[in-house]
Amino acid sequence: MLKKNMPWILLLIAIVLPRIVCAEPLSLHIPWPVGWQIGEPRIDKSVMHQQPRQQSADKTVQSLQLTAINVQHGHKPPTPESVKHLAASLRDVVAKTAVEKSISLQEFKIVKGYYFAATDSQPKAGGFKQLVEGVILGEGYLINFTLLTNDAAGVEAKAMIAALDQLSIR
């Protein structure tokens, strides 16, 4: 599901937001739950990418894809309403290949942003069956994330969503 929709998701982000070169290094601070291996972020012009994973007994149990874009000096900086619209657009793209007939947006409690969970209708053997995807607007950055998991309602996924709700940028 993710690989099929990734070009559309990236295109949507590229169309909605102008790409602006980051003036200084970006650092996302997340209170990582137990078992997460973080690794160094990759900066590609105006975009930061990071792909941490949660390990348990030498097995990846969840994978998180983070993309952060500096939107501080864009033609029209995103608003909370435009972030909600972007999250809804991402949801609509994912819904085309999801098991669920209806997918609702959830609002974060602390950070400004929205997310949703979906189940892949044709998961690959040995791959993740579900995803939690969303958009967060904070401190002049738009952060898109995709949490790949096998249990979006499980303790580990909920812990990661709670950690993302405490995300800060320094």
Q: Rounded mean pLDDT of 20-36?
A: 74
pLDDT band at 59 (very low <50, low <70, confident <90, very high): very high
CA distance 97 to 95: 5
Q: How many independent structural domains does the chain possess?
A: 1
Q: Rounded mean pLDDT of 109-121?
A: 97
State residue 110 phi and psi, 5-degree precision. Answer: -105, -60
Q: What is the pLDDT of residue 75?
A: 79
CATH of the domain at 47: 3.40.1000.10
Range of the domain at 113: 2-169
Reading the block at residue 78, the tokens are 């995103």
State residue 103 phi and psi, 5-degree precision. Answer: -125, 120
Q: For residue range 85-103, list pLDDT tens digits in order.
A: 999 999 999 999 999 999 9
Averaged pLDDT of the chain: 87
Taking residue 37's Cβ as centre, other Cβ atoms within 10 Å add up to 11
Residue type at 128?
A: F
- Say if residue 147's pLDDT is above 80: yes
Q: What is the pLDDT of residue 47?
A: 87
Q: For residue range 122-143, list pLDDT tens digits in order.
A: 999 989 999 999 999 988 899 9
Q: What is the pLDDT of residue 4?
A: 61
